[in-house]
Amino acid sequence: MTAVLAIAAIALCGAAVTSPFLGRGALRAVMALLLGIGIWSGAYATALFVFGADGRTLLAKDALLAAGGMAVLCLRHRRPTAAPSVERPGTRPRRRWLWAAVAAAAVVATASFIEHVLRYPDGGWDAWAIWNLRARFLARAGDGFGAAFSPELLFWAHADYPLLLPGVVAQGFLLAGGEPLWVPAAAAYAFAALTVVLLGAAARELRGPGWGAVAALALLATPCFVGFAANQQSDVPVGAFLLAACALSAMAVETGRPRLLALAGAAASLAAWTKNEGLVYLLALGIALLAVRWAAFPDRLRGVIRFGCGALPVLALLAWFKLRVAHVNDLLSQASLEPLLDARRWAELFGALLRRVVFFQNWSLWLVAELVVLIAVVPRLPPRASSRVLALAVALALSATAVVYVLQPHELVWFVRASADRVLVQLWPSIVLATVLSLAAPVAAAGSR
């Protein structure tokens, strides 16, 4: 019964927040599920910090989410809804071989995921040392859950990391009445699958169904995407929320519906509630929406204000968590700006990053192909505001990450090896979307689908 209520809470609150912005269709469904999971976890953390870990509180939280979602949907039912995703003439999937390739890739990716999870049921090092550890603290400790953020835990536990993923897994443990290994694995698979479907649906919405298949295929066949998903870490979830924010921003820019930016802000804030990098991505996307000329400046400013308003509730939770609960981040705990002036450190960083670009084991040839497209193809195509917004956001995010790499106290090459692929995999779905938006003409202007 409690599991049914939890599923209803996710589905109804997700549907409620997306229905004013998106028409019926695959994109709205997948966006609703993803944001519903994020809201469900954010509400859990809020209830935990405000009312404590009592089981009845969590039950009431789910009941409130489900009832609130249902009420919003009923009210919306009386009003005209957002324009449904129209199945445009000539945009039905015609290239069956392409969809067959996507299906085959999904089978290989799922089989690889299952193999990895069976072999390493506790996930990768960071999964059990950080994310599933935190979920265990939250699920096991009851009202003593504050121990999860004890300053006496070694820095490897990263007590300052936000709680979206541990919140999902901990609630899964509580609903299951134990700690079955399938709970974090199922959460990891759900986030990965939602990312693939969201990418395909967003590319389809903006460029047509063939492009949706191309985008989904590119992500499914990226070796480290499956690996990091199976490792049960938070990189794929943060990438999913960033992708949602990017897709909604691109839709706002291309369709002239700036109110979509409020939902984009909410999605970006859930990325920030998933991992510290998510806050950087939120800021980068906000700056890009203001800087790229996709509308007159006052309209862009209004759009960014909407983006900020959408982000505000979760950012308030994050700010409270960072100020009252979380402790100093190890990466910036000994921050001195001196390394920024060290040319050798920058050279070391770029050398190590270049190695990741050609790191076949994790990326196959995808990053090389992406660079070729950026250098040789994109400059010959007409500039498109939506892809420029996403490209600038990714560039800003990578630049900020490079600064953190130079400043952080760990041995640089080791740190890049340990983390650069994970940062890239967080951005990769959004990079694929931005690339598709660059390469293909918008649906109305395109001749070839």
253-282 positions binding another protein, by CB under 8 A: none
- Shortest Cβ distance from residue 57 to another protein (Å)? 18
Amino acid identity for residue 339 in this structure: P
Residues 336, 337, 340, CA angle at the centre, nearest 5°?
Answer: 130
Q: How many residues bind another protein (CB under 8 A)?
A: 74
One residue of 17, 66, 148, 271 binding another protein per CB under 8 A: 148
**Interatomic CA distance for residues 79 and 63, integer angstroms:** 25
Q: Rule CB under 8 A: is residue 49 a binding residue for another protein?
A: no
- Among residues 37, 32, 437, 448, the alpha carbon closest in space to that of 205 is found at 437
Number of CB atoms found within 10 A of residue 100's CB: 11
- Shortest Cβ distance from residue 78 to another protein (Å)? 41
Find the part of the chain contacting another protein (CB under 8 A) among 55-63, 100-108, 163-171, 290-298: 100-108
One residue of 193, 214, 260, 267 binding another protein per CB under 8 A: 214
| Of residues 275 and 384, the one with the C-beta less far from another protein | 384
Q: Rule CB under 8 A: is residue 69 a binding residue for another protein?
A: no
**Interatomic CA distance for residues 106 and 101, integer angstroms:** 9
**Interatomic CA distance for residues 275 and 293, integer angstroms:** 29
Tracing tokens 């640089």 back to the chain, one arrives at: 412
One residue of 7, 67, 70, 153 binding another protein per CB under 8 A: 153
List CB contacts of 245: < 8 A, sequence separation 6 or more.
264, 265, 267, 268, 271, 281, 282, 285
**Contacts (CB under 8 A) with another protein, residues 319-338:** 330, 333-334
**Contacts (CB under 8 A) with another protein, residues 192-211:** 208, 210-211
**Interatomic CA distance for residues 248 and 263, integer angstroms:** 7
**Interatomic CA distance for residues 294 and 423, integer angstroms:** 28
Would you put residue 123 in left (φ > 0), alpha (ψ -120 to 50) or beta? left
Length in residues, the chain: 449
**Contacts (CB under 8 A) with another protein, residues 155-184:** 155-157
One residue of 6, 48, 217, 349 binding another protein per CB under 8 A: 217
**Contacts (CB under 8 A) with another protein, residues 339-398:** 360-361, 364-366, 369, 377, 380-382
Find the part of the chain contacting another protein (CB under 8 A) among 3-11, 96-104, 197-205, 264-272: 96-104
- Shortest Cβ distance from residue 353 to another protein (Å)? 20
- Shortest Cβ distance from residue 413 to another protein (Å)? 13
| Of residues 20 and 121, the one with the C-beta less far from another protein | 121
- Shortest Cβ distance from residue 411 to another protein (Å)? 7
- Where b means 16+ CB within 10 Å and e means fewer, 386-396 reads bbbbbbbbbeb
Six token digits for residue 404: 């953190």
One residue of 21, 40, 44, 128 binding another protein per CB under 8 A: 128
Q: How many CA atoms lie within 13 A of 33 on its CB side?
A: 16
- Shortest Cβ distance from residue 195 to another protein (Å)? 16
The secondary structure of the chain in percent helix, strand, coil, rounded to multiples of 5, reads: 75, 0, 25
One residue of 61, 136, 158, 300 binding another protein per CB under 8 A: 136
One residue of 33, 65, 168, 226 binding another protein per CB under 8 A: 226
- Shortest Cβ distance from residue 75 to another protein (Å)? 40
Number of CB atoms found within 10 A of residue 111's CB: 11
One residue of 150, 342, 350, 354 binding another protein per CB under 8 A: 150
- Shortest Cβ distance from residue 409 to another protein (Å)? 4
| Of residues 177 and 382, the one with the C-beta less far from another protein | 382
Site string for another protein, 392-431 (x = CB under 8 A): ----------------xxxx--x-----------------
List CB contacts of 205: < 8 A, sequence separation 6 or more.
25, 27, 85, 212, 247, 251
**Contacts (CB under 8 A) with another protein, residues 102-121:** 104-105, 108-109, 111-112, 115-116, 118-119, 121
Six token digits for residue 312: 């505000």
Q: Rule CB under 8 A: is residue 445 a binding residue for another protein?
A: yes
**Contacts (CB under 8 A) with another protein, residues 282-321:** none
Residues 260, 102, 423, CA angle at the centre, nearest 5°?
Answer: 60
Six token digits for residue 351: 């050398």
